[in-house]
Amino acid sequence: MCLYGDNCKETVWGKKYTQGVEIVKKRLSIFFSMLLVLSMFLAACGGKDNANSGDKGGDKDKGKSDVPQELRVNINTEPPSLHPGLAKDATSGTVLRQTFEGLTRIEADGKPHKAAAEEIKVSDDQTVYTFTLRDAQWSNGDPVTAKDFEYAWKWALDPNNQSEYAYQLYYIKGGEAANTGKGSLDDVGIKVLDDKTLEVTLENPTPFFLELTAFYTYLPINSKVAEANKEWANDAGENYTSNGPFVMKEWSHSDKIVLEKNEKYWDADTVKLTSIEMFMINDPNTELSMLDNGELDWAGAPSGELPQDAMQALKDEGRLTTQSIAGIYNYKFNTTVEPFNNVNIRKAFAHAINRQEIIDNVTQGEQLPAMAIVPPSMFPESEKGYFPDNDVEKAQEYLQKGLEEMGLKDVSELPPISLSYNTSEGHQKIAQAIQDMWKTNLGVEVTLENSEWAVFIDKMHSLDYQVGRMGWLGDFNDPINFLEMYRDADGGNNDTGWESKEFQDLLAKSSTEADPEARQQILKDAEKVLMEDMPVMPIYFYTQNWVKDDSLKDVVVTGLGDVQYKWAHFE
């Protein structure tokens, strides 16, 4: 702007030397005005201290209650979609969980509680659920009806709407057929008995169905608004109606989202916060600095991220909160290529690493060493796992056995092995540590290979790798989340080429078993089969780490790593 002004003046210079003096004055004035701008900067700095902390202090004085109930958090990035049927990522989920309410809601105890549903009846064979809705309103005053749920679920299942998370609804009878175009939406097991009653028929008994109804793909949509305006979810405003504790007031893309308390919410008395500002800062160092400078009330997981380098210092200062969540960081083996088509070689590699050392020195987030696949929050036995960590002797035994089976004399005869991961500093450090452990403990040379995320995922899905990094987070609180991906060799998320008849049978048995304890045991047996064959080498169970303002209380972070601000307040 001003810059082009400069250039324009410069063009004048070329015209005639004789105009010199005039132009000199002009040029000088440019310099002076620049100096002026600078001095303005400085003056402005002195006059006004930190704008944000100033605001907060001011509000304190005039607030009705003594403390302003305004929360500022970071959600890292722009949520790709705030339409419950289109959302498919953690960031969108974080926003939707505050603004909408499903039939159930996962509360502080980690269990689903009745939310939009006032009463839930389950048939004896556990396949028919009848939900009676409580009297509740959308943020624009429309009543929340059973039709809103039917509309939302069928919208997601409708193949024309390209919902990428529609498979979350496949537990409902006819859901998969309708979504893949093999059946009709009318045959899906969702029935509206009356305005307040919804009957859902499931494909199989699904013991975790009430966990699912809290998930964002199962949230209702105000059918009146959505039918009138297809693009209702594109921006904040009167069309963006929701039925949860908060309602979206502002959505500045890539910048921030502002939520306000939803006065129409049925449980509005419980909600203390008057507003939540969600910033989209994608730099962990900045996030922590903002917290330190009073510009944020919370830094780190679940919605944001802390810099790895700062973990130790924050721990020493006693500010860091750590909570384990249902998620696993593991290395998958491609069981279709040498040498990992040999189970003993796989086991040798899995036994030869020191997980605790990686956690203490590399990740530094108090993670739990994983020697099992299903996280301890679902299987408490997983804290110990199926084998000891860092068992070098056993590893060497397995290695010898494996080499013999392959007809090799020595580790040097193993085919060249490469370890793949997607480009990121964190993954790289772990890979380097493991590379070193394999070299020291097994004498195997492994090369590292990193590729950018989209390329990497493509390689993993097409089995174009030998050992590859993968993480997995549970969508709902049930072990099946961590097991069913290994059911079929060509199932989308298997990535190992491994399958086992025994494992498949156990999973099939678990889906028809109505007794929760018997089912739990079946799934444990399945996990055992998986660990016996070791197509995947567990490394650690995820934790979440965060730092927050001391006066902020009762933010609920569930075992799945989801955050809820419904009960949050400042003291």
Partner 1 sequence: MVKYIGKRLLYMLISLWLIVTATFFFMRIAPGNPFTSEKKLPPEIEANLNAHFGLDQPWYAQYWDYLVRILNWDFGPSFKYKSQTVNDIINEGFPVSAMLGAEALLLAVAFGVLLGIIAALKHNRWPDYTAMIIAVLGISVPSFIMATFLQYFLAIKMGLFPVARWETFMHTILPALALAATPMAFIARLTRSSMLEVLSNDYIKTAKAKGLSQGVITVKHAIRNALLPVVTYMGPLTAGILTGSFVIENIFGIPGLGAHFVTSINNRDYTVIMGVTVFYSILLLVSILLVDIAYGFIDPRIKLAGGKKGE
Footprint of partner 1 on residues 24-63 (CB under 8 A)? Answer: 24, 27-28, 31, 34-35, 37-38, 41, 44-46, 48-52
CB 207 within 8 A of CB 156: no
488 binds partner 1 (CB under 8 A): no
Single out the residue of 125, 187, 238, 255 in contact with partner 1 (rule: CB under 8 A).
255
10 binds partner 1 (CB under 8 A): yes
237 binds partner 1 (CB under 8 A): no
Single out the residue of 70, 107, 142, 164 in contact with partner 1 (rule: CB under 8 A).
164
Which residue, among 487, 476, 398, 496, has the nearest Cα to 438 in the 3D structure?
A: 398
Record the tokens describing residue 237, joined without a space: 């405003």
14 binds partner 1 (CB under 8 A): yes
What are the residues whose beta carbons fall under 8 Å from the beta carbon of 364, sequence distance 6 or more?
A: 308, 311, 312, 315
313 binds partner 1 (CB under 8 A): no
Strands (E), 214-360: 246-252, 256-261, 275-279, 298-300, 321-333
11 binds partner 1 (CB under 8 A): yes
Residues forming a β-bridge with 119: 132
CB 431 within 8 A of CB 378: no
The CB-of-492 to partner 1 minimum distance in angstroms stands at 3
CB 87 within 8 A of CB 100: no
282 binds partner 1 (CB under 8 A): yes
The CB-of-549 to partner 1 minimum distance in angstroms stands at 15
The CB-of-348 to partner 1 minimum distance in angstroms stands at 27
CB 304 within 8 A of CB 284: yes
Number of residues that bind partner 1 (CB under 8 A): 79
The angle at the Cα of 560, spanning 486 to 476, to the nearest 5 degrees, equals 55
The CB-of-167 to partner 1 minimum distance in angstroms stands at 6
Helix axes 392-406, 425-442, angle to 10 degrees: 80
Applying CB under 8 A, the span of 118-126, 284-292, 351-359, 560-568 interacting with partner 1 comes to 284-292
406 vs 412: CA distance, rounded Å: 13
Which residue, among 216, 233, 116, 234, has the nearest Cα to 169 in the 3D structure?
A: 216
The CB-of-387 to partner 1 minimum distance in angstroms stands at 26
| Amino acid making up residue 447 | T
354 vs 341: CA distance, rounded Å: 23
Single out the residue of 230, 380, 492, 501 in contact with partner 1 (rule: CB under 8 A).
492
Considering only residues 67 through 126, tell me which ones interact with partner 1, judged by CB under 8 A.
Answer: 78, 80-83, 86, 88
Unique residue bearing structure tokens 């405003």? 237
The CB-of-78 to partner 1 minimum distance in angstroms stands at 6
100 vs 247: CA distance, rounded Å: 8
Count of other CB atoms within 10 angstroms of residue 43: 10
Single out the residue of 3, 64, 380, 416 in contact with partner 1 (rule: CB under 8 A).
3
Size of the chain, expressed as the number of residues it contains: 571
| Amino acid making up residue 507 | L
Output 281 or 350, the one with its CB closest to partner 1: 281
Output 106 or 281, the one with its CB closest to partner 1: 281
Unique residue bearing structure tokens 């705030």? 82
160 binds partner 1 (CB under 8 A): yes
CB 241 within 8 A of CB 140: yes
Applying CB under 8 A, the span of 21-29, 199-207, 349-357, 552-560 interacting with partner 1 comes to 21-29
Single out the residue of 64, 135, 186, 254 in contact with partner 1 (rule: CB under 8 A).
254
401 binds partner 1 (CB under 8 A): no
Considering only residues 440 through 479, tell me which ones interact with partner 1, judged by CB under 8 A.
Answer: 452-455, 457-459, 461, 470-472
286 binds partner 1 (CB under 8 A): yes
The CB-of-343 to partner 1 minimum distance in angstroms stands at 25
The CB-of-265 to partner 1 minimum distance in angstroms stands at 24
